[in-house]
Structure 1
């Protein structure tokens, strides 16, 4: 009786091994595509290297400030679109200015752990002699990654002031998409 049980068990193992070997490759689990980056996956800041600093002292042309996102998580994730950026002013009359977006088309970016990507904010500085009501003095930037609700609060490190155009249809201060 013992040999009959052994033979049946051996037959079951062989049959199970054969069945597993004949599973088509298409039924094998696929690697999931990376999902979007969430605020908790990222850290953010202003690029402050010498060549990245906006020229806030000049007032005859636009300049750029750069904000970066770094994937601090242990997973690969994607970013695509525009960050939300609200500038908070230093003057009592400034309030908060939600920046308009450029017409540029955003690329879809994949960030491995530790990867960094940036985007530019085009700025239109004005002279100190500009009347107070026509200038906006940045103090903080509230930066929200695309498709997220939670923002980073970044202190504006560059000084200067911008031409107040928070109600303009085509303001001289605006956002560009992430990766451009």
Structure 2
């Protein structure tokens, strides 16, 4: 009987000790909402899969190139809006072309550690025979994450030329928000 009573008493102490260590739900700290991703939190590149490569060899229609951001930090962060994209040309006459934004509405994207999100750039390729003054030959892209000032420099890997419309009100080459 003594052993049974001792076992019950020990069990009561263990349960009581465990219950005393538990934190009531009302006292638990609320998990902080993730803050925006900074350039240092990310890595970036062009999507290179066959279904992601722009069709730069044709000039009948627009095509898309995709740029991705991956969260390389140890925290969850968010991206929302449009990246800044400046194309730097390969020809002396090209200069730098800051791409305009589409009218699509951005969504907030939550990136856990290692998550990737992309955005598309709509391009209008032209034939090689197009006069030099009417074409832009991309060499590199300066890509700035939303709400940041530091950029990534990405070498343009796809070749081809784009119809030069850097001064147009509604150019056929433009960028879309993160996640679209």
- Fold match by TM threshold 0.5: yes
Deviation of residue 24 (structure 1)?
7.7
Structure 2: gaps spanning 5 or more residues = 1-19
Alignment TM-score, normalising by the size of structure 2: 0.86
- In the TM superposition, what whole-angstrom CA distance separates every residue of 1:2-43 from its partner, at most 9, and x where no partner exists? xxxxxxxxxxxxxxxxxx99x985454221100000000000
Give the equivalent residue in structure 2 for 1:34: 34
| TM-score, reference length from structure 1 | 0.86
Counterpart Cα distance in 2 of 1:176 and 1:28:
40
Q: What is the number of residues matched between the two proteins?
A: 160
Q: What are the Cα deviations for residues 138-163 of structure 1, in whole angstroms up to 9, with x where unaligned?
A: 00000000000000000000000000
- 1:72-130 deviations in Å (ceiling 9; x for gaps): 00100000000000000000000000000000001101000000000000000001011
Instruction: Measure the CA separation in 1 of the matches of 2:94 and 2:26.
Output: 59
Alignment partner, residue 119 of structure 1: 119
**SS, match of residue 149 in structure 1:** coil
Distance in 1 of aligned mates of 2:25 and 2:57: 63
**Pairwise CA RMSD:** 1.5
Q: Which runs of 5+ in 1 are unaligned?
A: 1-19
CA separation in 2, counterparts of 1:34 and 1:26?
21
Q: How far apart, CA to CA, are the structure 2 residues paired with 1:133 and 1:35?
A: 44
Distance in 2 separating the partners of 1:159 and 1:71 = 28
Q: How does 1:62-101 map to 2 (within 5 A)?
A: 62-101=62-101
